[in-house]
Chain A
């Protein structure tokens, strides 16, 4: 009972604090503090509810148990992280986004290709591409190569569509100006159209960053060597070791947020001129 009262008190206190904070002038510290308070409140409520209702750790482990497990098995988690995120997701991400970028420049050069590939690319981007995973695992074997291949297939079309769209995002006036400067195709591409395409390119890169992690993890459900986050999650669920599963999820969440965040930072540095980045 005490735990339930604790959970309720924390919830009420956190909400009250946030209401007060939201009424303050929106400085940077305040707008950062509010979501942090909300998150901490959620974790505390979770802890209170698990203890209060005496929920079995087989169903939902308490945050403290997850943290203990995380600290106890850092070597396994690190090994899985290297296998899935660095070998599988990152290499696939680099290959997929890089090739999509080059293909986009090629497609943009020829109007015929652009009009043909763009609808098809849009169509494919909406398909459940993740279903390719079993086929690619069959082709490339169980190790990280097949995971990278799944990631390549998943990120290629969103990236292609975004880049092609970005490359056509210059006005006729701007292109005419480049022509009056006597600029050729390559100069126009490098000095005008690629910089103008950057907001779209980063949009594609952001979408691709979440897809990459999902692809690498789900591909491991179809077969993997005895390490990797997807492998660990699916086997630990079978052994009802849910605290380890949650520890893996924490790793995945940190990796995903760090991945997304670093791209967002890079975007701010590259597209500092864009209205959405100005402050």
Chain B
């Protein structure tokens, strides 16, 4: 609770900066318009104008807020102009990719921990795979999968999966190896089979690592889904809203999609944090 006041101050500062930047960036257009129509701008009318333009360089926060309100609450959910509809498209791809990536990541991690050959040959490539800017391949994956006849949700989910499996592998390998020699020896004195050691010792002690990785994986998965929507020609989803907005100069639309994506990320990561707290508390680890 000690940090509530500082955080609020920083957030307030961001809003002040945002409004100031909106005046600064939109002022040239306002001056231009005023000289053409022969009006004289006082400071007050200038500020009012920069905060209410149709296609501003930087929309003021209240304009973005109004746009979000208009496209979420006042539009029907099924409408193509509803931001909730687009968020749902992105969210479903994100969740599917996240589930696939987490599954793949845990499977690989178990293999790496239990098989020496896999550890030696795959682990370096798992790390190397992330130095490749995978998002660059996104358009190709989408187009190729479309050509094979797979379209819609799955291609986007594949990109999310590729981005989200990496943190899970790294975290789970670390977590499954976190029991120390003493604990492993204890299992051996109890004559525990490898399966029992896995289910009773290794898996439970990897949980804190797993949840930390899941948070990163979820954020990465959302980025993957958004970028995956770019090359499909701006049909549906938050990424499509971003692209359509940038084609037509609809800055308010871009910002509202951006804030919606941010809210989505915050909710998803917060949800995992909540599950983490409940699970760890029940396991007696918190």
A residues apposed to B, CB below 8 Å: 15, 18-19, 21-23, 31, 34-35, 37-39, 58-60, 112-113, 115-117, 119-120, 123, 126-128, 130-135, 137-139, 209-210, 213-214, 217-218, 221-223, 229-230, 233-234, 237, 242, 245, 248-249, 252-253, 256-257, 259-260
Beyond A123-B266, A234-B231, whether A218 also contacts B132 by CB under 8 A is no
Tell yes or no: B73 within 8 A of A by CB.
Answer: no
Tell yes or no: B40 within 8 A of A by CB.
Answer: no
Nearest-CB distance from B261 to chain A (Å)? 5
Nearest-CB distance from A12 to chain B (Å)? 13
Contacts of A117 in B (CB 8 A): 6, 10
A249 touches B144 (CB 8 A): no
9 A-B pairs with the lowest CB-CB distances in the bound complex, closest first: A116-B6, A134-B246, A38-B121, A116-B10, A35-B124, A256-B131, A115-B3, A34-B120, A213-B133
Give the docked Cα–Cα distance between A44 and B265 (Å). Answer: 40
Known contacts A131-B261, A138-B246; 9 further A-B pairs (Cβ under 8 A): A37-B121, A38-B125, A119-B7, A130-B226, A130-B227, A131-B257, A214-B133, A217-B133, A260-B131
B11 touches A120 (CB 8 A): yes
> Using an 8 Å CB-CB cutoff, how does the interface string of B218-236 with A read, 1 for contact, 0 for none?
0100110011001100000
A135 touches B120 (CB 8 A): no
Give the docked Cα–Cα distance between A112 and B3 (Å). Answer: 8
Contacts of A60 in B (CB 8 A): 144
B133 touches A59 (CB 8 A): no
Contacts of A217 in B (CB 8 A): 133, 135-136
CB-nearest residue of chain B relative to A34?
B120
Instruction: Classify the secondary structure of A's interface with B.
Output: helix
Q: How many residues of B contact A (CB 8 A)?
A: 62
Nearest-CB distance from A103 to chain B (Å)? 12
Contacts of B139 in A (CB 8 A): 221, 233-234, 237
B6 touches A221 (CB 8 A): no
Contacts of B9 in A (CB 8 A): 112, 116
CB-nearest residue of chain B relative to A257?
B131
Give the docked Cα–Cα distance between A11 and B241 (Å). Answer: 44
B residues apposed to A, CB below 8 Å: 2-3, 5-11, 14, 25, 57, 116-117, 119-125, 128, 130-137, 139-140, 143-144, 147-148, 215-216, 219, 222-223, 226-227, 230-231, 238-239, 242-243, 245-246, 249, 251, 254-255, 257-258, 261-262, 265-266, 269
Beyond A127-B265, A134-B242, A135-B255, whether A249 also contacts B137 by CB under 8 A is yes
Give the docked Cα–Cα distance between A260 and B128 (Å). Answer: 9
A115 touches B120 (CB 8 A): no
Beyond A139-B57, A237-B143, A253-B131, whether A31 also contacts B7 by CB under 8 A is no
A134 touches B245 (CB 8 A): yes
Give the docked Cα–Cα distance between A257 and B11 (Å). Answer: 37
Nearest-CB distance from B149 to chain A (Å)? 11
B246 touches A222 (CB 8 A): yes
Query: Could you name 30 residue pairs across A and B whose Cβ atoms are closer than 8 Å?
Result: A18-B117, A19-B117, A35-B124, A35-B125, A112-B9, A113-B6, A119-B7, A120-B7, A126-B219, A126-B266, A127-B219, A128-B261, A128-B262, A131-B226, A131-B238, A131-B254, A134-B243, A134-B246, A138-B251, A139-B25, A210-B130, A214-B133, A214-B134, A217-B136, A218-B135, A230-B136, A233-B139, A237-B140, A249-B132, A257-B131
